[in-house]
Chains A and B, each alone.
Chain A
Amino acid sequence: MSLLARLNTPERRELLWLAIFSVIILVVLPSILEPFRLNLFGKYLTYGFVTLGLVICWGDAGILSLGQGVFFGLGGYCMAMFLKLEASSVANTKIQSTPGIPDFMDWNQITHLPFFWQPFHSLAFSLAAVVVVPTVLALVIGVAMFKRRVGGTYFAIITQAIAAILTILIIGQQGYTGGVNGITDLRTLWGWDIRTDHAKTILYFVSAIALILCILAARVVRMSKLGRLLRALRDREDRVRFSGYEVANFKIFAFCFAAAVAGIGGAMFTLQVGFMSPSLIGIVPSIEMVIFCAVGGRTSLLGAVYGALLVNWAKTTFSEDLPQLWLLAMGGLFIAVVLAFPNGLAGIFRLAIDRLPKGPGGRRQPGITPVVAEQAGAPQ
């Protein structure tokens, strides 16, 4: 009995933290924020998907990917292509030389919709593509790299190169992709205007619920034997290999998982922000995503998500109040957190929990969790 209790407590506690997180994003934020701020948090949540994937891929499996923006962007572009086609109805585009195709194609003398755009008329196909396209690309990269035992910094550099390649490809092929401006002026999703405050509030809740589901999925992975194997190969890859496991397959899985959730995040981003552009998927945003994860704590699912929320929130706040200084302030925050606390906010939080006097029955006051986390991340 006492053994069972001991096994169960951390798990139960983790579920409790998740419940608190859910309450914060589903109840607290929507009730205290005006629609404009809530929409901003909806945008931050989409980065939570990416950092969540990074916890599995980087924190657990030890694969540092500096190209998560690629998968975020692919998911976002798949969604944007569907929305753009819907916004480019013949009636909306009658001033163009070729009505019925996206405006940027018309400017680039393209007179019919390219073949790879055709399937994006279908919402079902587009939604599937949001997950499948990033996953397939991750699979190809993963097979090519991990089967050859490319890892560590080399892998990080290759993912970064892929981010650069994709950006250049999109910018260069502006007739097919919208180029450097991206795919802009997205209006409706199946006739539903996504630009209104009301729609954005609904999209916020959709993002929040999807994020919670993804956290649960990631939790299942982490708690399974698969998750333990991932952590094992992070710490002692050779031993895992000598134990008879095909290490590459596990790495490929972790990388694909991270890509799939990043893709979902990208699609939610497109829906809420209303456009997608190559500036969101290149090297710099990809590295920023890793920073969100590092600040939040790369070994904690919730920590990483809080990291994405807090850093982005701080970014908005700093840049509103100190437009001249915000980059410096952000840099200072990153250096401080990463230097002093390698496990990020989640590490600080765990430390604080461990120092708390144990209450009766070993239970702690759940209410203090987010407060501690938030104070640690807030600008002083």
Chain B
Amino acid sequence: MVDRKHLLNSKQMASFVSDGYLRFDELVPMELNEAALAEMQKNPPRARAGTPFREVWPPPSAIGNLFRLPEVQGITCSLVGPDPLYDHHAVHTVGPGHRMGQMWHADAIIDLRMHFDIQYYYFAHDTPREMGGTMILPGSHFRRISETDIARYQNFLGQIPIVCKAGTLVVVHHGIWHCAQPNLTDQRRYMFKLRLNPTVRQLRLWNTDDLRDAAVAAAFGRNHGWYGNEVRLEIVNRIKLWRFLTGDEAFDTGYWLGRLENLPERVLQPA
């Protein structure tokens, strides 16, 4: 059972809904980072897709242990519930002196679900800008695209390279656009990716004590700078996902969906 103090709060969940990711700097202790990196270099075994995640990488696996940290379990539980399924993982590496960035892509085909998977990006060692790391595009997760069909794009306003210290975890919505960045150092770069699927309805799984905090609604108005007037459509997408996550079918902010749902049927009697 995950201790409630480790669950995400509503403000963090609202950020996830708006931005498509959350970042936790230096969350994993250094000793565990070193052991996990050593395991990554030996290619940890894959499990069958759909295996209960609790059965994957049992102790004393360092990679298993980092995902069993109470703080990490709190993140997982808040987003996909307490007992998710393992989907797949990958040890992503970029060799020293690799000067070309990976093409932009999402790890999904066109996905119509409101339900979502999460992907962890785990950085076991320091990752300065000259080493990459993974570039993400905040707010891209609602876009209905397929995999590398976005590969013509090279740069966006608001793109963010994950430059971080060892032990940093980033958790993303499965639809987020991302690409590995060049590694100009003489060291190989590692990033561990893990995808998890929910097994319960994603409904108020986090600590909802701050559900009515003004910062929650404010998060849905963010403009990440790259989508012009379509920011209005993205706000609608966020409100729809928040309604799904909270079960509050009347939720709105700034009268966005309220206006669209205003379909009066009351007929006035002739004067």
Partners in one complex: no
